[in-house]
Amino acid sequence: MYHDKLFFLKQIVHILIVKTSSLGDIVQTFPVITLLKKHYQRVKIDWVAKKFCCELVAAHPDVHHVISVDSYKWRRSFLKNYFEMWGMVRELREQRYDLLLDLQGNIKSACVTKCARARKKVGYTFSSASDWPNAFFLSHRYRVDVKDPITFQYLSIVQQHLAISSDFCIEPTMLNITDEEKRWVHSQIQGIPGPIFMVCSASRWDNKKLSLKTWQIFLKQLNKKFSPYFFFVWGSEKEREESETLHRSFIFSSCVLPRMSISTLQFFMDRMDVVLAVDSFALHLAATTSTSTYSIFGPSQASVYKPFGESHQAFQGVCPYGVLFDKRCPYLRSCKTRGCLKNIDPETLMQQFIWKMHHK
């Protein structure tokens, strides 16, 4: 692909990234932008994302334009939303891209890739894609090792196509934020003595969550050992109630934060000493900052999905039924016992936290 590299060096090029969801997966794709900008400064990057992810993508300082898709609504009523869908297709086809990167690899992204106009359409091989028919719509296909950290799988596609060295350091990526939002964050943490921990107990999937009791015991042990101040964050009303319950155990040394923009949350995370989380968007957002993270995994592999680097440590729960998997447990959405997380001993969690954070 040497000629592609020369082409990129000579002029401004227009790249379209197709990574429609989810929020956490999109954040883990951000290093691809850093890689492209590092090697090819004269590059303009557009991004296709689902509607609920557009705020996140638009906040990235190096994304030029975001194209929104609302597949949930379109699926519910194709005829009613026909003109909106056609408007998205027209917006997609207004530009002729030099390079399209389909990093989603499923049937939905294949529809976008098919509609877009691009000189080169790059993505996964049939065996590497989430949905193998996706590869039919690509001009160039590359295999990735599904056991590698997920961010490096995304980077590998770009590195293979553009013949870029695999030596790449993942750096913090701060989103666009207003001065007013920065001042508010500073006002919340001003004057707090000692270490500050942010607790992100929520996840989109219930089977990725720790029980409230496990969190309470674990946090009490942390409180006894480090005397930290806890900030609790939440997404839904149910999660807010759970955060309030945890807060009542540390009434004088914790706070439940209000709902805030993604950029504000990231800036807040960057001011923490540690972010504690399960496998969730919040964890991966914290990994874009300079803050250390400690995460708890169950039905997904920490070796694949945990943030990369020594400052990011994780605990892996064990399936009591002996189910083995490379990336995600096949029963992630259907397991009723949540045994891999329910059976975690808080004392073991605490011991590993101390050991791993000490040896990072």
pLDDT of residue 70: 79
pLDDT of residue 6: 47
Domains and CATH numbers, the chain: 2-162 (3.40.50.2000), 191-358 (3.40.50.2000)
Q: For 96-106, write each residue's pLDDT tens digit.
A: 999 999 999 99
d(CA 152, CA 159): 10
From edge to edge, which strands make up the β-sheet containing 140-142?
65-69, 43-50, 13-18, 96-102, 117-124, 140-142
CB atoms within 10 A of CB 352: 16
d(CA 109, CA 139): 15
pLDDT of residue 276: 98
Q: For 33-45, write each residue's pLDDT tens digit.
A: 999 998 877 899 9
77: left (phi over 0), alpha (psi -120 to 50) or beta: beta
User: How many helical (H) and strand (E) elements, i.e. helices and strands, does the chain have?
Assistant: 15, 12
Low-confidence ranges of the chain (pLDDT < 50): 2, 6, 8
Output the CA torsion sign for 328, 332, 335, 340: positive
pLDDT of residue 2: 47
pLDDT of residue 73: 54
| pTM, rounded to two decimals | 0.91
Structure tokens at 355: 């050991």
d(CA 104, CA 134): 9
